[in-house]
C-alpha cells in the first residue's frame, strides 16, 4: 500500500480499508470520514477503534486525517479450526468428521500460567489497604 500511496495510485477495484483510529478522538474522526467521500460501513466501528471504509478515489487523504493512526487493507476474518485438527494430529485431514482416537473434548483440563498481578491496579487497592 505504501508504494500505491507514494505514487498516488488508485487501489484495486473492490478494496476496502481498515482504519485504526486514535481512541481519544475516534468519534470526531468518524464524523470526518462520514463527511468525506468515503463510504463508512456501518456496524464496523470496533471498540478497539477500528473502522472499515469503502475508500474514495483520493484514499490517501484518509491517512492524513489527524485521528487516523493506521491504514491497512481489509481482510475478511475466518475461523481456522478446520486446520487445527490435522495440525495437532487428531485427524488425518480437515474433512474427516471423526478422529482416530475418539477424542470428544470432555474432561479436558486447561491450565493458564500467569506472570502475576499488578498490585498497584485500583481493583486490588481495597483488598490491599483494608487488610493492612
How do residues 28-73 score in pLDDT, each as one tens digit? 888 888 877 666 655 455 666 888 888 888 888 888 889 999 999 9
Q: Give the pLDDT of residue 38.
A: 62
Nearest of 8, 35, 32, 10 to residue 21 by alpha carbon: 32
Q: Give the pLDDT of residue 43.
A: 43
Q: Give the pLDDT of residue 6.
A: 87
Q: Is 50 exposed, middle or buried (0-12, 13-18, 19+ CB in 10 A)?
A: middle
Report residue 86 as a C-alpha cell: 490435522
pTM of the full structure:
0.55
Q: Give the helix/strand (H/E) hosting 33.
A: helix 26-35
Check whether 18 has a pLDDT greater than 70: yes
Three-class SS state of 73: strand
List domains and CATH numbers for the chain.
Answer: 2-73 (3.30.70)
Amino acid at each position: 500500500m505504501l508504494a500505491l500511496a507514494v505514487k498516488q495510485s488508485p487501489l484495486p477495484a473492490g478494496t476496502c480499508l481498515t482504519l485504526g483510529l486514535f481512541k481519544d478522538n475516534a468519534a470526531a474522526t468518524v464524523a470526518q470520514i462520514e463527511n468525506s467521500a468515503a463510504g463508512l460501513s456501518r456496524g464496523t466501528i470496533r471498540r478497539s477503534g477500528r473502522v472499515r471504509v469503502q475508500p474514495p478515489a483520493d484514499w490517501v487523504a484518509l491517512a492524513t486525517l489527524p485521528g487516523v493512526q493506521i491504514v491497512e487493507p481489509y481482510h475478511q476474518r475466518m475461523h481456522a479450526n478446520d486446520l487445527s485438527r490435522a495440525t495437532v494430529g487428531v485427524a488425518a485431514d480437515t474433512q474427516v468428521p471423526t478422529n482416530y482416537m475418539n477424542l470428544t473434548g470432555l474432561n479436558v483440563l486447561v491450565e493458564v500460567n500467569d506472570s502475576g498481578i499488578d498490585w498497584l491496579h485500583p481493583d486490588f487497592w481495597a483488598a490491599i489497604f483494608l487488610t493492612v
